[in-house]
């Protein structure tokens, strides 16, 4: 029997990190060898060239990807990232995490992710529309409401999802709202989807604070990243009464021991796009934010920001992984060995986004729409159940919380594959 050891296609720091997590989880539950590689490796991927006419008449060709990690448990699901540092290995790692995330919280989906190598801030609105439509055009033969359902991720938003729905719908000849989630409400988007990821992070943080017997109103919070997830997490925690003492984006980081005025920061970013020159706190470095003394640290930006160098310096009580993959394998080990930080692992912590995406897709398929309260109540019920199952697994096997979450997610995918058998 030949064994695939490494994938030259996906090989990268972040893909190796996702593979190491898988291997550890598979070892921890003695996942049979025969099912391991099948469960671990992405099922298929697509790489596309995207020629776009620029506003000045010239043409630029962008590169994009879509990786479908697992289709055994339903359509694959996951966002599309527009970022200059996207690589196919990163997209594959993110797709893998989507599989474990969907499985952990009990959604009938596999995992997928897409990405385009582009800085969306460098494009005009018209150029961004042409790129988004072209990317969807190339995905058409590869996706579908029962095959693979994209959504927003870093650098993409509702507006982009709207263009993508239109491109796909023009192709099939009727509105196909279930082709993507995270759409504008007018096209079948769900109430509560825009804030879902941040609302879910904040909800779980309040639950873990309660477990630690720390009143929310006494909690201080530092958030790295002020995009959709970071800003909605800040707004929700602020609403619960926690004090957000530090925020940042890729342009600047700010600290205010009295608490940052989140409404003011949101307003500032709406007009200025970035936090640079925000006057609502003292400017600090990214490292100062991550190592700040606070109750809750929420990395809500890119992968691999909590490094082995930073891990010993963290001064938070809870590490809420609002981003996907923010903690490297080595840093994770250091944090575990320290034993004084409660980690809410990414696959649980930020699952609110895909949970409400699932609700959106259900509403589209049924053409029956729910109110915001119904969406949020159902979201919190799923998060409670997922948290309970992670805590149970953790106690039962004396696992770290990450290992508990990953083993639950991975075991369910492996079981589905086992039950389906191998075709032909
Ligand atoms: N991009 C989000 C994530 O990483 C949401 C995916 C979705 O809604 O399908 O979970």
**299 close to 305: Cβ distance less than 8 angstroms:** yes
Assigned token pair, 25:
């989880």
**pLDDT of 316 strictly over 80:** yes
Ligand 1 atom closest to 193 (CA): 8
Kindly indicate the confidence band of residue 7, based on its pLDDT and cuts at 50, 70 and 90: confident
As a whole number of angstroms, the distance between CA 414 and CA 196 comes to 28
**370 close to 196: Cβ distance less than 8 angstroms:** no
Q: Across residues 328-354, what is the average pLDDT? A: 98
Enter the DSSP assignment of 189.
P
Q: Work out the number of other CB atoms within 10 angstroms of the CB of residue 265.
A: 23
Kindly indicate the confidence band of residue 423, based on its pLDDT and cuts at 50, 70 and 90: confident
Collapsed DSSP state (helix, strand, coil) of residue 269? helix
- Catalytic residue, candidates 40, 113, 243, 387: 113
Q: Do the first three CATH levels of 8-179 and 196-344 match, i.e. the same topology?
A: yes
Collapsed DSSP state (helix, strand, coil) of residue 115? strand
**pLDDT of 381 strictly over 60:** yes
**26 close to 7: Cβ distance less than 8 angstroms:** no
Residue 113 designated active-site: yes
Q: Across residues 218-238, what is the average pLDDT? A: 98
Q: How far, in Å, from the CA of 338 to the mean position of ligand 1?
A: 31
Tell whether pTM > 0.85: yes
Ligand 1 atom closest to 324 (CA): 4
Q: How far, in Å, from the CA of 354 to the mean position of ligand 1?
A: 5
Enter the DSSP assignment of 22.
H
- In CATH, the number for domain 8-179 is 3.40.50.10860
Interval 260-290: pLDDT, tens: 999 999 999 999 999 999 999 999 999 999 9
For 196-344, which CATH superfamily applies?
NAD(P)-binding Rossmann-like Domain (3.40.50.720)
Interval 145-199: pLDDT, tens: 999 999 999 999 999 999 999 999 999 999 999 999 999 999 999 999 999 999 9
Q: Is the CB of 183 under 6 A from ligand 1?
A: no
Q: Looking up tokens 């770290």, which residue turns up? A: 400
Q: Is the CB of 79 under 6 A from ligand 1?
A: yes
Q: Looking up tokens 């205010």, which residue turns up? A: 256
Q: Is the CB of 200 under 6 A from ligand 1?
A: no
Q: Is the CB of 324 under 6 A from ligand 1?
A: yes
**Domain spans of the chain, in order of start:** 8-179, 196-344
Interval 44-71: pLDDT, tens: 999 999 999 999 999 999 999 999 999 9
Q: Is the CB of 352 under 6 A from ligand 1?
A: no
């Amino acid at each position: 029997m030949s064994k695939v050891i490494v994938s030259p296609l996906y090989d990268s720091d972040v893909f190796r990190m996702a593979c190491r997590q898988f291997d550890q989880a598979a070892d921890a539950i003695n996942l049979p060898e025969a099912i391991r590689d099948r469960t671990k490796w992405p099922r298929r991927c697509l790489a596309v060239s995207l020629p776009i006419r620029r506003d000045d008449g010239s043409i630029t060709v962008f590169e994009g990807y879509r990786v479908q990690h697992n289709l055994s448990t339903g359509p694959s699901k996951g966002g599309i990232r527009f970022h200059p540092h996207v690589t196919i290995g990163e997209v594959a790692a993110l797709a893998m995490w989507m599989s474990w995330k969907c499985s952990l919280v009990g959604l009938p989906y596999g995992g997928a992710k897409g990405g385009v190598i582009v800085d969306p801030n460098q494009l005009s609105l018209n150029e961004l529309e042409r790129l988004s439509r072209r990317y969807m055009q190339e995905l058409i033969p590869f996706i579908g409401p029962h095959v693979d359902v994209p959504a927003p991720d870093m650098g993409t938003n509702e507006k982009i999802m709207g263009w993508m729905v239109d491109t796909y719908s023009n192709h099939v000849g009727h509105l196909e709202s279930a082709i993507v989630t995270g759409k504008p409400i007018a096209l079948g988007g769900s109430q509560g989807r825009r804030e879902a990821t941040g609302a879910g992070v904040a909800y779980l943080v309040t639950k873990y604070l309660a477990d630690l017997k720390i009143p929310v109103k006494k909690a201080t919070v530092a958030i790295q990243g002020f995009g959709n997830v970071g800003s909605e997490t800040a707004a929700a925690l602020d609403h619960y009464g926690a004090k957000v003492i530090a925020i940042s984006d890729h342009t600047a980081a700010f600290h205010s021991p009295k608490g940052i005025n989140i409404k003011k920061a949101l307003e500032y970013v709406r007009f200025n796009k970035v936090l640079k020159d925000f006057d609502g706190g003292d400017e600090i470095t990214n490292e100062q934010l991550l190592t700040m003394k606070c109750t809750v640290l929420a990395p809500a930006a890119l992968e691999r920001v909590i490094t082995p160098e930073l891990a010993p310096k963290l001064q938070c009580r809870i590490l809420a992984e609002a981003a996907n993959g923010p903690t490297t394998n080595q840093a994770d080990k250091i944090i575990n060995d320290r034993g004084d930080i409660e980690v809410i692992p990414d696959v649980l912590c930020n699952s609110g986004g895909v949970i409400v995406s699932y609700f959106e897709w259900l509403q589209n398929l049924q053409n029956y729409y729910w109110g915001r309260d119904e969406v949020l109540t159902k979201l919190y019920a799923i998060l409670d159940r997922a948290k309970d199952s992670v805590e149970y697994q953790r106690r039962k096997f004396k696992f770290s919380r990450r290992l508990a979450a990953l083993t639950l997610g991975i075991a369910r995918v492996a079981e589905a594959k086992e039950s389906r058998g191998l075709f032909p």
